[in-house]
Structure 1
């Protein structure tokens, strides 16, 4: 087997997986997002010019707030983005004119460009759906268009040269029109011979520069064509990915790679702990990777087929998304098995032996609402974690992304079924991982994946035990609970808080502001619900997608109150996870949702279908890996 591709896996490059051709394209297109729903990378310190997002004409939400993007935007950037609903580019360093092509974004609902250096006039935007607009703190000039004057003074403040309502400044009178020049007065003077010479000299220099640039471009293209694809982060994006890939640092592999299972010289070894190590040589374990880690892929689910690291290297791969923990990919191996591969860079809390034990512990989990990992690969700098690919996607995307047939299927009974499945999975984790400070640690709708029958599957659990505490506060959602924000501590009740947010998000259909790292965007579902309960108007909070099909029922209000109880500021006033799950079971029984209570311990692998992990699930709304058909809202992956 040729080991060179793996040996050439440089620490600043992803593994050499071949890009997957995009459907309806005649060639492979790196970093292409043909039909993503959300592009969310706010507060990620991204810099440079804004990428050409205009080609992503299926985008519905773009969240790039609080980065360091600079430069001007092409006037035609939004000419084909008639699906775009939410555009947040605030608090960057963008300059130049606001693109007039925004008028073509006829579905736009939210437009936030404040905190930049835009100049010139505000384009007239006659978009009936536009309900949130802000261009304050720029360098804009001229009259505020009449179609935008109803947004109030705060949307235009700190633009000293704007005038008209609602700024309070009176626009100066227009200057008189100058008469056209007469025939006796030529408009231009005849250039002198010296001017001609300078102009010709400048033109020659310009032509030379263009020629050199073109030659370099052709040369680089030729070199790239001859080289194998080695940048795994450059493979084609899925429509659910959240562009602007996070650069991942990876260690170079310094030794043996794993041959394809069943090929000559390959074998597998089942050790006493139940883990299978697929390696090279006559049944032995593969050689070492730089940093002392094993080069093999360690299988932790003995009930599933065995595959090796080499199989992943050779498989067709797609980037699914990026988050604060790392990147996620879909890989389809030669036998047709589709898996999700997460390259996680922040799991540095444990040494190799301790990490191995935790992964084996995860591999023993068996519950229909918990995604069990299949395998992992350890290196000091980062880890690969492999699990089943869940095709239907994340709950986050289904709620806030493309409102198609899947969203239409989210009626009251389906949402209650999803809440019940989440509660069961969480109750199971709180038993099996009871020694953890916080058993799940990162519960949010981006990490709830849905099977074709709308059964929820929990992903990205147990990471608090693997991530350094200082890092956990920035990347795990349970560390946004009130007790951590106030007292810097988490507990199993922090998981209960996260569960309550998910319940309220499902019932209201609102994207929680709690997912974000700043106060811009989203809805404070906790305060909103508490106020409604206090005023006895809970039914007003329910998602119209629910109440348009059936009138509010007492069970809907009961579930809303369960969500509110789980998000109480004082963790001592919240139910524990088992109590919360029991409350949900009572409501489901009253509604007549089928399916009895399961303990989880009695579940076998046969009850766990290969749980697909959806593309959009991985991104970034909240900075999670399995999350974001991205932060639709996705969404990804944002806040964290």
Structure 2
């Protein structure tokens, strides 16, 4: 009995202790968040999250509602398995703790936003993650050394076009299922990892600060395009050889004598070079053919219009981003630097095109001319673009041509290149500028077209504040939109065998004729441009599907046309034209938000809505919705190019006939909201 009583007391006090501690234990236990709460926590970590306005605690439906799921979610049987939040203009950072609430998350895309800061370490805890897309943001800092240690399911990781620095984590070898890794256009330094997971198929570390030799295991798997623009990286497959290792000499005094002799030799060489430079300058000043060439108009004016000729002698002024309307930016048009007049093309280019013997005509509509005619022409520098330098040349016959000098068209040989240019020369459409001739060399290509003096839509819209800009009334803009749609639809029919028939459609590649009839240029080059250069030179690669999956199609042209239409209607410079999206206006996101909130009238350029006798805005809003439909992130949801052309034709016909302006039939509200029916395809 004496033993039972103490045992009873022990259990009594133990039970009492548990009762006292249970409230504290309950308070310290983690609170299980709902899916909605986790998504709202994620949203709160973003700035400028207006695109996620439907993510709300007052939403009548749960996030994965089968009929009305929250925007940007991928769900499977009510479970969040993916996030598609690319191109929404988001700022701030990513709350990885909120993402950890979704253990079934397979894919997450935050590409093409303005997210910044270090990559959250908690991302490595998403063990089920297969695809992570963070391209084109402003992330910085180092990747944790253990970044890949627990990501055994990861297949695709896109961190390109950020500001990451430091070493590439050696734990990458643990990502045994990794298929694609893009780290290009960052600030990674140090040496490359000696090996990568054997599963990897796509690897790009170009445009960083890496040093040392490319490991043999990597050189055997990937070509030079994977390692370009790392100044201190060497060895195959790059052209730069690694320096031989230096052995320590036995005699220090011998080193000093050798260094002294090298210094003396270097000084003698400098004196010789300075003397030669003085002689050259004196000779140049006495020879009028070396007068300074004129520098082209500000902005990207004739980047696509003109192409580039023969001289390496003087680079044109840097092309700055055009400022927003209403700024103090001034453009003087084509001007002369130094006031020296034109120069002889032959004089300034004799060294640059030594050995040139052939100019192949592909279109004789403007007459026949040869290389000697072009060599004697006076030349004027117009500018630099993504594909090359642009020059204007005026021949003795009075014909003005634009010559583009391109260096990155070595994807095919001479015969295939000629066949493709001959096909371009057979194109005939009032909204397509057909090339006249070309010259082929392995190092560079020359493409000659007729010169269009008014310049590009980009320049007239953003860089010019003169009569041409003032002439951009609603009828003129509608005429331009219709011509661009007609020309692009024609290219899609004639060049349908190409993966992306135009491939480089943007306002800088739309020239304006004397009557503002648009002319498309720089089309059909996708199969000719070097594979490594195409993503940087061709605007089709700015489409969402390319940024995510490096894939372009005819629907990429549709996206590009949508950006041009939105640019034409808003008068804003699209941030899509910039490589780092820092600056300009995200016209795609702006249009999507305004349409969703029925604020379309706020987007329209005041220069066309605030003028005397301005139209009511119904056709403008319809065209705005066409542009928005063309820029849908999902290429399958975009209309075909032929359908876009038909829609623009219908809008133009309605505007001309005045059926939807002031007829009193409810076609348009005073604020430009176009009534209650937001359908793009309304008749």
Normalised by the length of structure 1, the TM-score is 0.50
Per-residue deviation at 1:323? 2.2
Separation in 1 of the partners of 2:641 and 2:293? 40
What is the match of residue 633 of structure 2?
A: 569
Aligned partner (choices 334, 352, 376) of residue 314 of structure 1: 376
Could you tell me whether the CA contact under 8 Å between 2:309 and 2:403 is conserved in 1? no
Per-residue deviation at 1:229? 4.5
Aligned residue pairs total 342
SS of residue matched to 1:341: strand
Per-residue deviation at 1:463? 1.0
User: 1:570 and 1:241, CA in 2 relative to 1: closer, same or farther beyond 3 A?
Assistant: closer
Q: Does residue 1:238 correspond to 2:302, yes or no?
A: no
Separation in 1 of the partners of 2:400 and 2:440? 21
SS of residue matched to 2:393: strand
Aligned partner (choices 522, 525, 529) of residue 467 of structure 1: 529
Q: Does residue 1:488 correspond to 2:554, yes or no?
A: no
Q: Structure 2 matches for 1:337-376, cutoff 5 A?
A: 337-376=399-438
Q: Deviations over 1:460-517 (max 9, x none)?
A: 0011011122210111000010000011100000000000000000000000000001
SS of residue matched to 1:441: coil
Could you tell me whether the CA contact under 8 Å between 1:242 and 1:320 is conserved in 2? no
User: 1:483 and 1:374, CA in 2 relative to 1: closer, same or farther beyond 3 A?
Assistant: same
Aligned partner (choices 261, 282, 285) of residue 222 of structure 1: 282
Separation in 1 of the partners of 2:597 and 2:550? 32
Q: Does residue 1:441 correspond to 2:496, yes or no?
A: no
Q: Deviations over 1:197-216 (max 9, x none)?
A: xxxxxxxxxxxxxxx99999
Per-residue deviation at 1:338? 0.3
Q: Deviations over 1:124-151 (max 9, x none)?
A: xxxxxxxxxxxxxxxxxxxxxxxxxxxx
What is the match of residue 518 of structure 1?
A: 580
Decide which moves more: 302-311 or 441-450. Answer: 302-311
Q: Does residue 1:534 correspond to 2:596, yes or no?
A: yes
Could you tell me whether the CA contact under 8 Å between 1:350 and 1:466 is conserved in 2? yes
Could you tell me whether the CA contact under 8 Å between 2:299 and 2:463 is conserved in 1? no
Decide which moves more: 411-420 or 317-326. Answer: 317-326
User: 1:433 and 1:242, CA in 2 relative to 1: closer, same or farther beyond 3 A?
Assistant: closer
SS of residue matched to 2:532: helix
Aligned partner (choices 291, 305, 312) of residue 367 of structure 2: 305
User: 1:292 and 1:489, CA in 2 relative to 1: closer, same or farther beyond 3 A?
Assistant: farther
What is the match of residue 34 of structure 1?
A: none
Q: Does residue 1:397 correspond to 2:397, yes or no?
A: no
Q: Deviations over 1:512-555 (max 9, x none)?
A: 00000112110000000000000001011000001012154211
What is the match of residue 559 of structure 2?
A: 497
Per-residue deviation at 1:247? 12
User: 1:497 and 1:509, CA in 2 relative to 1: closer, same or farther beyond 3 A?
Assistant: same
Aligned partner (choices 457, 479, 488) of residue 426 of structure 1: 488
Separation in 2 of the partners of 1:497 and 1:517? 17
What is the match of residue 91 of structure 1?
A: none
SS of residue matched to 2:360: strand
Separation in 1 of the partners of 2:653 and 2:277? 66
Normalised by the length of structure 2, the TM-score is 0.47
What is the match of residue 397 of structure 2?
A: 335
Separation in 1 of the partners of 2:309 and 2:575? 27
SS of residue matched to 1:536: coil
SS of residue matched to 2:497: coil
Could you tell me whether the CA contact under 8 Å between 1:293 and 1:380 is conserved in 2? no
Per-residue deviation at 1:297? 0.6
Could you tell me whether the CA contact under 8 Å between 1:539 and 1:557 is conserved in 2? yes
Q: Does residue 1:581 correspond to 2:645, yes or no?
A: yes
Separation in 1 of the partners of 2:274 and 2:364? 55
Q: Deviations over 1:263-292 (max 9, x none)?
A: xxxxxxxxxxxxxxxxxxxxxxxxxx9999
SS of residue matched to 1:592: helix
SS of residue matched to 2:628: helix
Separation in 1 of the partners of 2:499 and 2:276? 56
Per-residue deviation at 1:571? 0.2
User: 1:247 and 1:586, CA in 2 relative to 1: closer, same or farther beyond 3 A?
Assistant: closer
SS of residue matched to 1:468: coil
Separation in 1 of the partners of 2:290 and 2:610? 51
What is the match of residue 178 of structure 1?
A: none
User: 1:357 and 1:443, CA in 2 relative to 1: closer, same or farther beyond 3 A?
Assistant: same
User: 1:519 and 1:353, CA in 2 relative to 1: closer, same or farther beyond 3 A?
Assistant: same
Separation in 1 of the partners of 2:609 and 2:352? 58
User: 1:248 and 1:528, CA in 2 relative to 1: closer, same or farther beyond 3 A?
Assistant: farther
SS of residue matched to 1:463: coil
User: 1:327 and 1:593, CA in 2 relative to 1: closer, same or farther beyond 3 A?
Assistant: farther
Could you tell me whether the CA contact under 8 Å between 1:330 and 1:340 is conserved in 2? yes
Could you tell me whether the CA contact under 8 Å between 2:457 and 2:508 is conserved in 1? yes
What is the match of residue 118 of structure 1?
A: none
What is the match of residue 35 of structure 1?
A: none
Per-residue deviation at 1:249? 9.7
Separation in 2 of the partners of 1:435 and 1:383? 23
Could you tell me whether the CA contact under 8 Å between 2:298 and 2:463 is conserved in 1? no
SS of residue matched to 2:435: coil
Separation in 2 of the partners of 1:338 and 1:303? 14
Q: Does residue 1:558 correspond to 2:615, yes or no?
A: no
The CA RMSD measured in Å over matched residues stands at 3.1
| Gapped regions of structure 1 (runs ≥ 5) | 1-211, 251-288, 595-640
